[in-house]
Amino acid sequence: MRKLGESTSESADWLNEEEVGAWSFHKDEPVTELPFDLVEGIEPEDHLDIAEDLYNQSAGLQMGLR
């Protein structure tokens, strides 16, 4: 059985910690890396606002199809 980080071939079967990240993209602003907390995870400040806007757009489109 392989241990985490070991590979049976030349290429790795998964990403290393250094190869994974979360990034914030905003129009006309530099891209920034979001900090990750092992307990809290990732929670961008504007995530709930964006999720609510997307939900409202989706609901509006669905209502227009009826």
The pLDDT of residue 30: 95
Predicted confidence (pLDDT) per residue in 10-46, tens digit: 565 788 878 888 888 888 999 988 887 778 777 777 7
The first and second tokens of residue 66, run together, are 């009826």
Decide if 42 is inside a domain. Answer: yes
The pLDDT of residue 56: 93
Decide if 12 is inside a domain. Answer: no
Decide if 56 is inside a domain. Answer: yes
The pLDDT of residue 42: 76
The total number of structural domains in the chain stands at: 1
Decide if 6 is inside a domain. Answer: no
Decide if 9 is inside a domain. Answer: no
Task: Read off φ and ψ for residue 37, nearest 5 degrees.
Answer: -115, 130
Structural domain range at position 36? 17-64
Decide if 11 is inside a domain. Answer: no
Decide if 32 is inside a domain. Answer: yes
The pLDDT of residue 57: 93
The pLDDT of residue 14: 80
